[in-house]
């Protein structure tokens, strides 16, 4: 069975859904590890409640990104991780992880990339008066939300939408969509090379 590490920095609603999907057979792999760069983030509590091992670190405790990514690599190797799924990991992946996990890191982003990369993609789409936004899952490269797109879903923005209503709808769709894409990537149906 393929082994997945989820990287997350915040609430972890997608993390939780991916774990559930692996336990109900929607995903044929298993979630082996949560990697979190924010001690105290809600996702860490969720992992403990679900019985998932965690590696929680503070980037400020390291001299450089190379140093903390090397520490992450050690953990990934000890947990025999095959695939990294970024689910709200609000940090650019550096060359150390990219080199070792080339074509095996995927990211969930709440916009129709290449539109609205980076932080607050939901707010960016609303501020631009878009009538449509969406969700993208893509392979990670050295850029900010720039790697090859695996799949996208379009989501309507209604005139009476505000940040909360739109963010809630996006999350609900992410919870179904991301596990299915993870399963396709695991099955080798989509190749990032
Ligand atoms: C998700 O909406 C995800 O698309 C977004 O963070 C949220 C995490 O929510 N990711 C990014 O913006 C990445 N640039 P969650 O912690 O409830 O899963």
Residue 61 lies in a domain: yes
Question: How far, in Å, from the CA of 111 to the mean position of ligand 1?
Answer: 10
Question: How far, in Å, from the CA of 9 to the mean position of ligand 1?
Answer: 9
| One pLDDT digit (tens) per residue for the chain, 193 residues | 999 999 999 999 999 999 999 999 999 999 999 999 999 999 999 999 999 999 999 999 999 999 999 999 999 999 999 999 999 999 999 999 999 999 999 999 999 999 999 999 999 999 999 999 999 999 999 999 999 999 999 999 999 999 999 999 999 999 999 999 999 999 985 544 4
Residue 116 lies in a domain: yes
Compute the residue count for the chain. Answer: 193
Residue 56 lies in a domain: yes
Count of H-run helices and E-run strands, the chain: 6, 7
Query: Which segments of the chain are extended strands (E)?
Result: 3-8, 30-36, 54-56, 83-86, 105-109, 132-139, 149-156
pLDDT of residue 188: 86
CATH no. for residue 36? 3.40.50.170
Residue 191 lies in a domain: no
Residue 162 lies in a domain: yes
Residue 193 lies in a domain: no
Residue 149 lies in a domain: yes
Those residues with Cβ within 8 angstroms of residue 65's Cβ, 6 or more apart along the chain or in another chain = 59, 94, 96
Ligand 1: does its nearest atom lie under 6 Å from the Cβ of 11?
yes
Q: Which residue is closest in CA terms to ligand 1's atom 6?
A: 88
Ligand 1: does its nearest atom lie under 6 Å from the Cβ of 14?
yes
Question: How far, in Å, from the CA of 110 to the mean position of ligand 1?
Answer: 7
* Domain extent at residue 151: 2-186
pLDDT of residue 190: 53
pLDDT of residue 189: 53
Q: How many domains is the chain partitioned into structurally?
A: 1
């Amino acid at each position: 069975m393929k082994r997945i590490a989820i990287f997350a920095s915040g609430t972890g609603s997608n993390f939780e859904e991916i774990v559930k999907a692996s336990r109900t057979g929607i995903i044929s792999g298993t979630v082996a590890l949560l990697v979190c760069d924010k001690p105290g983030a809600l996702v860490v509590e969720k992992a403990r409640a679900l019985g998932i091992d965690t590696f929680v670190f503070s980037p400020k405790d390291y001299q450089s990104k190379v140093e903390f990514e090397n520490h992450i690599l050690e953990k990934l190797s000890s947990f025999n991780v095959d695939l990294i799924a970024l689910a709200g990991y609000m940090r650019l992946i550096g060359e150390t992880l990219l080199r070792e996990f080339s074509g095996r890191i995927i990211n969930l982003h709440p916009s129709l990339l290449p539109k609205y990369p980076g932080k607050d993609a939901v707010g960016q789409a609303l501020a631009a008066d878009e009538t449509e936004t969406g969700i993208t899952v893509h392979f990670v490269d050295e850029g900010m939300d720039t790697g090859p797109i695996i799949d996208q879903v379009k989501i309507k923005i209604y005139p009476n939408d505000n940040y909360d209503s739109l963010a809630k709808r996006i999350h609900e769709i992410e919870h179904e969509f991301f596990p299915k894409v993870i399963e396709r990537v695991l099955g080798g149906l989509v190749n990032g090379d």
